[in-house]
Structure 1
Amino acid sequence: MRMRAAALWISFIAAHAVVAWLGWVLPNQPMGDVVLVYEPWSTAAVSGGAVMGITAVWVYPQLALVPMLLARLLAVPLVPLLGLDQAYLIGWAMLVTLCDLLGFAVLVGRARVRRRRAAGWFWTAGLVLLGPIALYRLDAITVPIAIVGGLWLARRPAVGAALLTAGAWIKIWPGAIALAAIAAGRRSLRIAVTAAAVSAALIVVFFLLGADQELFGFLTTQNDRGLQIEAVAATPFLWMASAGAATIDYSIHILTFQIGAPGVEIIASCLTPLMLIAVAAIVALGVWRARQGAPWQRLLPPLALALVTALIVTNKVGSPQFQTWLIAPAILWIVFDRARAHIAAALVLMLCALAFAVYPLTYDGLLHAHVLPIALITLRNVLLILLLVIAVRAAWRVRPTRVARSAQLTRSR
């Protein structure tokens, strides 16, 4: 048992070392957001400039600034030796690795439980297959938070809900796991009240710090966003671009590449309502299955995966780091219901590999509408839709327990 635990922990740590190194040697600036965006934002906050989300409207929720500041703190001792940029990159990698190690400790511990060991190996494989994007993006901070929060929903629902809510105030997606837990029916009121209380407390703190119109800027700033080239809905336009019938343009305002083509604005404007409809439908499915007596631990993982995948499939943005979101609900599925998690887990790993193949390996070709990267991202987007279908189908097919079925018969009489 000690050898198994040691092998798993060593592999997980080695995966971080490899991924961190790849960020320095691969093309297309896989560490670009960290040094070009996170570091200047953190510098501005500590030097009397704009505090993003507080004194300036931001694309992220306010707590996103916290890991950026923590990375800067870790970088301080290295600045005289390496300079601010390189020191900040190392500080960021150290912060993400530390967060992952804490999450890994909660997940596998001494690796005594087989399904938790399997989940640990899955996480390790996902890191390597996704490459540096798994480390050098803000989303990486939220993965261990979502994993620990999701696991603690079983025995510490209030703490788990608080963690997931805090994660949602860094990047929105961990809130989907909390929403799935509410729909799945076990201790729903406690989870909902905790999430509302944590959010209310944070809003009060942000308001006292000076935020007013900036409080929900991360929602309103998305309305004017165009269709990013990696979004699922952008797939046909990429093929049009390869034929010269569409363009790939850079948005200085959003700092991303978007599609330029007739009708693309209409598609982009429809995606947010479509997202809301998809989320509402999946939540309704979860509530229905829960009321039918579906066991909570079998219903939660596919429901959470369906919600998270829906957020990606219906998004105007399709950034490669979104694949990190899938790791957390897949791990919950392996831990809570391993026998039925194999297909979804395999698809998530394939999606990680395809995301890596597109960014950073062939991203320059994608920007020039070359066929190979477009084919790779098309396959990735098709598999995302397939994963959504599989997760929804799995949630639909969760059968009520005998006890719940008997209770339903009793009530009907």
Structure 2
Amino acid sequence: MSRDSTTRVLVLWGAFLLVHLLTALLGWVYPSQPMGDVVLVYEPWASAALGGGPIVGITETWVYPQLALVPMLLAAGLAAPLVPVLGVSSAYLVGWAVLVIVLDAVAFGVLIGRSPSHARRVAAWFWCGAVLLLGPIALYRIDAITVPLAVIGGLWLVARPMIAAALLTAGAWIKIWPGALVVAAVVAVRARLRVLLGAVVVTGGVLALLLLFGADTEILGFLTEQTGRGLQIEAVAATPFLWLAVAGAARIEYSFEILTFQVTAPGVDAVAAALTPLMMICVLVVAAIGAVKAMRGAAFPRLFPPLALTLVTLLIVTNKVGSPQFQTWLIAPVILWIVLDRARARTPAVIVLALCLLTCLVYPLGYDALLRAEALPVAVLTVRNVLLLVLLVLGIRALLRVPVRHPKLQE
């Protein structure tokens, strides 16, 4: 490895550590409790499971897939030695931050290696920029655990398809969105049978363990718990209703059942009810377009990135929930697009960076004003949601433009 290459790698690692440490510390400074879920929700769940109390996802229905409890327990283990010094809450926050940074570091190491190509260096800088712009929400949510799994899984899809699919499926059992990358991989990777096998093995193993621990109707609780949700204020579909709230014709209310703010107005329930079926239809249509491209000989580096990003963006745009941490879902597909096809990834990468910044301005920085339905934060959120729609359109356009060859000509 040349001296220049060594220097570039060291600079990248320095940027990675600086960005992650700064972002972790900002969680203690920013308003609106950007670390609130970690200490108010994750830590009590972990304590209950470790203390012989109810185990979410096993003894009671849970909003998350069951493997989400694993990093929460790991964070408790990392925090244990610090409890006498920092107290339970602060120690758990430190343990969570350490866990996320270590996982990100592993994925970052896989991304850049010892002598990264120019595309991988650009992807690494993009990742650092996205975390910095999104702020503490990029670290202090369960979604942060899935990002490094998605990055490693995506990078290994060609060389190690079964292991890659296993990682992505494990991520989906923590937070559902990496399942979109599994779908994209089944469509775009030639070794799709090995991808399917990796996904089936992990899913079968998780189900077997859950049944062994006594789970029954709780196994799919993370799906049924979502059906009754209203329209969260940050959701794309909630944007018109927020402007009604600004005008005094709608209300923002807190749901104690699912611990989030929702919008209440005539027509909201109908919109919320239509979103999940719309999501399923759109995902099937996009996957079908990708499948046709694959059958006609589309190359993996051209097909997989726009297909993966479009599917993930669809999960956000058609979601009843618009939580700020959803923007972390976009980081891995863009990293993979930069690595596989850097020239065509430029515009999506810029848009995702803008989405991260706008999201941070909404939450946590402008969230109190948003809850008061003030015009400025609603306008910022509107721009953010419009950009999500723009990203979706760009992804679909890129997918439709993927060149194809007849399979016989490929041979």
TM above 0.5? yes
Following TM superposition, where does structure 1 have runs of at least 4 consecutive aligned residues deviating by more than 3 angstroms? Answer: none
Shift of 1:154: 1.3
1:184 aligns with 2:188: yes
TM-score (norm 1): 0.97
Q: Which amino acid aligns with 1:201?
A: G
Shift of 1:263: 1.1
Out of 235, 239, 246, which is 2:239 matched to?
235
Contact between 1:38 and 1:68, CA under 8 Å: does it hold in 2? yes
Aligned residue number for residue 81 of structure 1: 85
Task: Return the alpha-carbon distance in structure 1 between the equivalents of residues 263 and 190 of structure 2.
Answer: 43
Contact between 2:158 and 2:189, CA under 8 Å: does it hold in 1? no
Cα deviation digits, residues 230-261 of structure 1 (max 9, x gap)? 00000000000000000000000000000111
Aligned residue number for residue 355 of structure 2: 351
Out of 96, 101, 105, which is 1:101 matched to?
105
Task: Return the alpha-carbon distance in structure 2 between the equivalents of residues 312 and 111 of structure 1.
Answer: 35
Q: Which amino acid aligns with 2:269?
A: E
Shift of 1:404: 4.1
Task: Return the alpha-carbon distance in structure 2 between the equivalents of residues 282 and 111 of structure 1.
Answer: 36
Aligned residue number for residue 411 of structure 1: none
Task: Return the alpha-carbon distance in structure 2 between the equivalents of residues 58 and 95 of structure 1.
Answer: 22
Task: Return the alpha-carbon distance in structure 1 between the equivalents of residues 150 and 371 of structure 2.
Answer: 32
Which secondary structure does the structure 2 equivalent of 1:214 belong to? helix
Task: Return the alpha-carbon distance in structure 2 between the equivalents of residues 197 and 34 of structure 1.
Answer: 30
Task: Return the alpha-carbon distance in structure 2 between the equivalents of residues 127 and 212 of structure 1.
Answer: 38
1:203 aligns with 2:204: no
1:224 aligns with 2:219: no
Q: Which amino acid aligns with 1:262?
A: P
Shift of 1:17: 0.7
Q: Is the alpha carbon distance of 1:162 and 1:233 closer, same or farther for their aligned partners in structure 2, counting shifts above 3 Å?
A: same
1:194 aligns with 2:193: no
Worse-matched range after superposition: 216-225 or 190-199: 190-199
Task: Return the alpha-carbon distance in structure 1 between the equivalents of residues 60 and 394 of structure 2.
Answer: 41
Q: Is the alpha carbon distance of 1:237 and 1:111 closer, same or farther for their aligned partners in structure 2, counting shifts above 3 Å?
A: farther
Task: Return the alpha-carbon distance in structure 1 between the equivalents of residues 264 and 243 of structure 2.
Answer: 13
Q: Which amino acid aligns with 1:292?
A: R
Shift of 1:197: 2.1
Task: Return the alpha-carbon distance in structure 2 between the equivalents of residues 308 and 345 of structure 1.
Answer: 14
Cα deviation digits, residues 236-291 of structure 1 (max 9, x gap)? 00000000000000000000000111110000000000000010011001001111
Aligned residue number for residue 257 of structure 1: 261
Task: Return the alpha-carbon distance in structure 2 between the equivalents of residues 83 and 188 of structure 1.
Answer: 48
Q: Which amino acid aligns with 1:115?
A: A
Shift of 1:74: 0.4
Out of 107, 126, 129, which is 1:125 matched to?
129
Aligned residue number for residue 146 of structure 1: 150
Out of 314, 325, 331, which is 1:327 matched to?
331
Contact between 2:184 and 2:308, CA under 8 Å: does it hold in 1? yes
Task: Return the alpha-carbon distance in structure 2 between the equivalents of residues 337 and 186 of structure 1.
Answer: 18
Aligned residue number for residue 76 of structure 2: 72
Out of 21, 26, 35, which is 2:30 matched to?
26
Contact between 2:303 and 2:399, CA under 8 Å: does it hold in 1? yes
Contact between 1:111 and 1:117, CA under 8 Å: does it hold in 2? no
Task: Return the alpha-carbon distance in structure 2 between the equivalents of residues 344 and 57 of structure 1.
Answer: 37
Aligned residue number for residue 379 of structure 1: 383
Which secondary structure does the structure 2 equivalent of 1:248 belong to? strand
**Residues paired across the two proteins, number:** 407
Summarize the alignment of residues 244-323 of structure 1 with structure 2, pairs less than 5 Å apart.
244-323=248-327
Task: Return the alpha-carbon distance in structure 2 between the equivalents of residues 302 and 400 of structure 1.
Answer: 14
Which secondary structure does the structure 2 equivalent of 1:258 belong to? strand
5+ residue gaps, structure 1:
409-413
Task: Return the alpha-carbon distance in structure 1 between the equivalents of residues 286 and 109 of structure 2.
Answer: 31
Q: Which amino acid aligns with 1:2?
A: T
Aligned residue number for residue 18 of structure 2: 14
Shift of 1:196: 1.7
Q: Which amino acid aligns with 1:254?
A: I
Percent identity among equivalent residues? Answer: 60
Shift of 1:292: 1.5
Which secondary structure does the structure 1 equivalent of 2:27 belong to? helix
Q: Which amino acid aligns with 2:258?
A: I
Aligned residue number for residue 409 of structure 2: 406
Contact between 1:185 and 1:287, CA under 8 Å: does it hold in 2? no
Q: Which amino acid aligns with 1:194?
A: G
Shift of 1:405: 7.0
5+ residue gaps, structure 2:
none
TM-score (norm 2): 0.98
Task: Return the alpha-carbon distance in structure 1 between the equivalents of residues 362 and 348 of structure 2.
Answer: 21
Contact between 1:28 and 1:360, CA under 8 Å: does it hold in 2? yes
Task: Return the alpha-carbon distance in structure 2 between the equivalents of residues 147 and 175 of structure 1.
Answer: 13
Shift of 1:407: 5.2
